Amino acid sequence: MCLAVPGKIAAVLEDENLGLRRGKVDFCGIRKEVCLDYTPEARVGDYVLVHVGFALSVVDEQEAQRVFEALRELDQLDELQESTP
């Protein structure tokens, strides 16, 4: 139920249907119209997390990388341990 899917904003619609801020969001090739009212800071090119037609968060791309950096450090730690007799 709480599924939210990341998609890239392809366009912010000027013609404001419903009076709400709307945009076209690309989900791996499928484009859907999404309400952007809750993410006023979102711009074309941003990734947003979308739940039942509403963008609820802009993906922080720097934070998204963090886990991979941590894994690289773990990898180096492993190599270090393996090379130590």
Return residues touching other proteins (CB under 8 A).
1-6, 18-20, 28, 35, 37-40, 47, 49, 51-54, 56-57, 59-61, 63-68, 70-71, 74-75
Residues 6+ apart with CB under 8 A from 40: 21
- Surface-to-core class of residue 50, CB atoms within 10 Å of its CB (0-12 exposed, 13-18 middle, 19+ buried): buried
Output the smallest distance, CB 35 to other proteins, in A.
Answer: 7
Burial (CB count <10 Å: 0-12, 13-18, 19+), residue 55: buried
**Continuous H helices in the chain:** 61-83
Cβ proximity to other proteins, 14 vs 18, nearer residue: 18
Q: Give the residue with the Cβ less far from other proteins, 1 or 14.
A: 1
Least Å distance, CB 84 to other proteins, is 16
**Residue number with CB closer to other proteins (4 or 13):** 4
